[in-house]
A and B are shown apart, each in its own frame.
Chain A
Amino acid sequence: MGQPGTGAARSAPGHPAESGRAGTPVVALRGVEKSFGAVRALRGVSLELFPGEVHALLGENGAGKSTLIKTLAGVHRPDSGAFLIDGRQRRLSGPAEARDAGIAVIYQEPTLFGELSIAENVFMGRQPLRSGRRIDTAAMRARTAALFDRLGVRLDPDRPASGLSIADQQLVEIAKALSFDARVLIMDEPTAALSDAEVRRLFRVVRALREQGAAVLFVSHRLDEVLSLCQRATVLRDGEHVWAGDLAGHTPDDLVRLMVGRELSALFPKQDVTPGEVVLSVRRLTREGVFVDVSLDVRAGEIVALSGLVGAGRSEVARAVFGIDRPDAGEVWVAGQRLRPGSPTAAMAAGVGFVPEDRRQQGLVMDASIERNAALASLGRLGPLGLVRRRAERRLAQDWAVKLRLKFARLTDPVGVLSGGNQQKVVLAKWLARAPRVLIVDEPTRGIDVGTKAEVHRLLSELAGQGVAVLMISSELPEVLGMADRVLVMHEGRLVAELDRAEATEERVALAAAGRLGVGG
């Protein structure tokens, strides 16, 4: 796979400081395993953080970065493997103990208390006390103001945290870390929502922290940022430790290869279809602050993949096309007719189906039966005067269960008892029963076992063969490359690349998703 460095050796437990770095790591993980049910999120991951370094944690979506962070934060406890702080084995009982050990985490989603003042947010649980164990509000305010002075930012300690920009919320979190003299600062994609000026300010703060001897673990998909800020990196892939080493001399392309580096399997057969007329046409669709100026066409019989990193705005585009969210500008046309914006009913009437990303929350009514779920989008057709005939409902479910090779005991069982793959088939059945012209599928095979995955792929391919226009959002590059006739790549709310089946490679798509490949490749 052409990995630089001696990845295997560094990841082996019991061999610290092989890069020639002296001293004990402040925090180290050795061969940590963590499973959630049947999902093995971390499989033998090792990580070393030294004082005075900014260390990058890299990996694709679902590589296990978040689990690793939460393990360091004391939220998850490793199933096996060692967690060392200052070279001593520790077992953290919870976030409070991680904090007491000097580990601060800045999560991707804000974790502030909106109603409470900034000063209280900084010192929650550790407020300075005066006589009678009462909180010394004046001292708390003064110390918060002093922290902001040191950070060189102007925020009023007394204002409530609600309404703060993401950048300011991060500064409050950093002030929190400073307030308990954190030695380890973990930042999960801190720059994802920041402007350039805010990123510069953040980096200035991070570099200052490093010079003071803090260890910073920096998670980012922006590889140029990683290379400018970090000295070393650890790369995860599918929960496994792939590589760790010095970043000096590496290019973004090297890192992408390390993060992706996986065999392209032949599991995904998309039959060749001569595309027909344009069925779905999206024109300059914009939703302020989410995605900008997105235009795309999907022809009958074509599968178009929308690729990109999590947070690039792919699902949001799908939601706007289907009418769940109202776009601020732009148009959606289906078979020559303009859709009323912000109306899923109009989209459905025009023949659009939408299989959402989160099937448990959005795709299915988990407590309702299989037949109820399968018929949910076709209720108007199952009887006169809006009444639903149970018999018609059952017949519909039965038909599709056979066609999709659904594995079930009884159609009256709650859909929640089915496996993930079979649940997804029910969601698909719900839409296929309407004979859609356009099918939008968001992460169609997430959390589905390999066998069912291939079946879902076969199904999508057959649909395209029957002339359905399919728009597929997927974070799995093999799936994208195997299934799609064309790949559109989004980066930070914009379409940045369009690649034909022939020119789409893992590397090109990943580079475009990281914002390193211009429009047209």
Chain B
Amino acid sequence: MSGLTVESDVDQASAGQRPARRGAAARRLVDRVGRVRELGILVALVVVVAVTAVANPAFVSPQSLRDLLLNASIIALLAVGQTLVVVTRNVDLSVGSVLGLAAFLTAQTFAANPGLPLLPGLLLGVLIGLACGALNGLVVAAGQVPSLVVTLGTLYVFRGLDFTLARGRQVNAADLPDALLSLGSGRLLGIPNLVLITLVVIAAGALYLRAYRSGRELYAIGSNPDAAVLAGIPVGRRVFVAFTVSGAVAGLAGALWMARYGTVDAAAGTGLELQVVSAVVVGGVVISGGSGTVAGAALGALLLGTITSCLVVLRIPAFWQQAITGALLLAAITVDRLVALRLAAALRRSSRAGRRDEGG
């Protein structure tokens, strides 16, 4: 079939230049929407920071900005893993519990083995998370159970395990090696270590989702699960891997949480999952799968974190902080929906117009 060329006749002649230009216009529109989504978050970020800075100029001091990034980094990290799961039309609600479990167990291991080097200790956190994620992935992929229910279940299972193992104890900063604590509080070239690690994970996640076949297949699965099967994509295996990665990242986040705060008990990271899902959605990852980027999700985390900090600085009561986070979430979803509808209509128009041009 390789040498195929279709006789060109009426069609091609009448197709002319115009549809090509219209196609380009449609593409520009799509491009713009994609970029606008992340740009919109950036603009919102700048506005929020600027408004707060007017009220309190100290808010834009280097230290304050560093804190903003540092505070957002754990959520942003979790958002990377969550993005992988959400683009496949799934959700991982267990990340907060996985973080807590990994944080406590790693802290306990460090406390019990004072001579333990840094890297194997952190790796332990990742492995604990990986095991939790693999369990989620196995039940979702092999058991064909909706991920919402599975991870809601494991949210409680992992947290319960955490409490059982902790038995009310907590690990204090004094029990942890200094190298670990300085990892959590130190910086390189003025940027906090945790922020650097988060940036590396974001870059890796973004590269994977953009440039690797299996990454693209995650989008395909979320976009049209039936077609993914027909296209020969190993759907179960890919979904399993997405959950496993999400778990591993949550495990890493747990280890970093311990390094950052020094004090860890069984309640660490409780309720984080909803912040993570909010960040992902605000960051433009469509909850029904098929589109969204890691960078957007991380920016979403930064925006939500920044707003919380701003409200504190502006002395707005805590109740309003939650209400504003909620309103932002609704606004993000509304904007996404409106843009998607507009875009779909534009694409249909460009396709129809092209058809009219070609039809005899």
A75 adjacent to B7 (CB under 8 Å): no
A159 adjacent to B359 (CB under 8 Å): no
Residue with the greatest number of chain A CB neighbours at <10 A, chosen from B1, B5, B6, B213: B1
Distance of A390 Cα from B211 Cα, bound (Å):
61
| A177 contacts across to B, CB distance below 8 A | 1
Distance of A127 Cα from B213 Cα, bound (Å):
7
A208 adjacent to B230 (CB under 8 Å): no
A159 adjacent to B23 (CB under 8 Å): yes
A163 interface residue (CB < 8 Å to B): yes
The minimal Cβ–Cβ distance linking A203 to chain B, given in whole angstroms, is 11
Which residue on A lies nearest to B5, using beta carbons? A150
Select which of A99, A113, A158, A195 is within 8 A of B227 by beta carbon: A113
| B211 contacts across to A, CB distance below 8 A | 134-135, 137
Encode contact with B along A405-429: 1 for CB under 8 Å, 0 otherwise. Answer: 0000000000000000000000000
A178 interface residue (CB < 8 Å to B): yes
B23 adjacent to A198 (CB under 8 Å): no
Select which of A107, A115, A159, A182 is within 8 A of B223 by beta carbon: A115
B212 adjacent to A135 (CB under 8 Å): yes
Binds B, one of A34-42, A209-217, A283-291: A209-217
The minimal Cβ–Cβ distance linking A135 to chain B, given in whole angstroms, is 5
B2 adjacent to A181 (CB under 8 Å): yes
Binds A, one of B24-32, B78-86, B160-168, B170-178: B24-32
Residue with the greatest number of chain A CB neighbours at <10 A, chosen from B5, B9, B210, B224: B224
Binds B, one of A164-172, A235-243, A346-354, A490-498: A164-172
Which residue on B lies nearest to A96, using beta carbons? B232
A154 adjacent to B19 (CB under 8 Å): yes
Distance of A214 Cα from B352 Cα, bound (Å):
30
Q: Contact residue range for chain A? A: 35 or more
Encode contact with B along A68-92: 1 for CB under 8 Å, 0 otherwise. Answer: 0000010100000000000000000
Main secondary structure of the interface of B (DSSP, over half): helix
Select which of B1, B7, B8 is within 8 A of A178 by beta carbon: B1
B354 interface residue (CB < 8 Å to A): yes
- Known contacts A115-B223, A152-B12, A153-B11: does B352 contact A165 (CB below 8 Å)? yes
Distance of A133 Cα from B19 Cα, bound (Å):
35
The minimal Cβ–Cβ distance linking B60 to chain A, given in whole angstroms, is 38
Select which of A120, A155, A156, A182 is within 8 A of B1 by beta carbon: A182
| B212 contacts across to A, CB distance below 8 A | 133-135
A200 interface residue (CB < 8 Å to B): yes
Which residue on A lies nearest to B15, using beta carbons? A154
Select which of B4, B352, B358 is within 8 A of A201 by beta carbon: B358
- Known contacts A125-B231, A159-B23, A165-B351: does B213 contact A135 (CB below 8 Å)? yes
Which residue on B lies nearest to A51, using beta carbons? B1
Which residue on B lies nearest to A184, using beta carbons? B1
Chain B residue total in the interface (Cβ 8 A): 55
- Known contacts A73-B230, A116-B220: does B359 contact A152 (CB below 8 Å)? no
| A114 contacts across to B, CB distance below 8 A | 223-224, 290
B27 adjacent to A154 (CB under 8 Å): no
| B3 contacts across to A, CB distance below 8 A | 212
B351 adjacent to A154 (CB under 8 Å): no
| B360 contacts across to A, CB distance below 8 A | 197, 200
Total A-B residue pairs with C-beta atoms closer than 8 Å? 160
B26 adjacent to A156 (CB under 8 Å): yes
B169 interface residue (CB < 8 Å to A): no
A261 interface residue (CB < 8 Å to B): no
The minimal Cβ–Cβ distance linking B272 to chain A, given in whole angstroms, is 28
B348 interface residue (CB < 8 Å to A): yes
Distance of A197 Cα from B355 Cα, bound (Å):
9
B347 adjacent to A162 (CB under 8 Å): yes
B20 interface residue (CB < 8 Å to A): yes
| A154 contacts across to B, CB distance below 8 A | 12, 15, 19-20, 23, 354, 358
The minimal Cβ–Cβ distance linking B178 to chain A, given in whole angstroms, is 38
B4 adjacent to A209 (CB under 8 Å): yes
B216 adjacent to A150 (CB under 8 Å): no
| A98 contacts across to B, CB distance below 8 A | 232
A4 interface residue (CB < 8 Å to B): no
A159 adjacent to B30 (CB under 8 Å): yes
The minimal Cβ–Cβ distance linking A58 to chain B, given in whole angstroms, is 24
A113 adjacent to B224 (CB under 8 Å): yes
B291 interface residue (CB < 8 Å to A): yes
Select which of B4, B24, B219 is within 8 A of A212 by beta carbon: B4
Distance of A94 Cα from B219 Cα, bound (Å):
21
Encode contact with A along B229-247: 1 for CB under 8 Å, 0 otherwise. Answer: 1111110000000000000
| B24 contacts across to A, CB distance below 8 A | 156
| Chain A positions 89-139 with a Cβ under 8 Å from a chain B Cβ | 94-99, 105, 107, 110-116, 120, 124-125, 127, 129, 133-135, 137
- Known contacts A152-B11, A154-B20, A165-B352: does B1 contact A115 (CB below 8 Å)? no
Distance of A160 Cα from B224 Cα, bound (Å):
13
B92 interface residue (CB < 8 Å to A): no
The contact sample of 6 A-B pairs, CB cut-off 8 A, is A96-B234, A135-B211, A159-B23, A164-B351, A168-B351, A208-B6
Q: Which residues of A contact B (CB under 8 A)?
A: 73, 75, 94-99, 105, 107, 110-116, 120, 124-125, 127, 129, 133-135, 137, 150-156, 158-160, 162-165, 167-168, 177-178, 181-183, 195, 197-198, 200-201, 204-205, 208-209, 212-214
Q: Which residues of B contact A (CB under 8 A)?
A: 1-9, 11-12, 15, 19-20, 23-24, 26-27, 30, 207, 210-213, 216-217, 219-220, 222-224, 226-234, 286, 290-291, 344, 346-348, 350-352, 354-355, 358-360
Knowing that A73-B230, A154-B358, A168-B354 are A-B contacts, what are 10 other residue pairs whose CB atoms are under 8 Å apart, sorted by A's residue number?
A96-B234, A112-B224, A113-B224, A114-B223, A152-B12, A154-B12, A200-B360, A204-B11, A213-B1, A214-B1
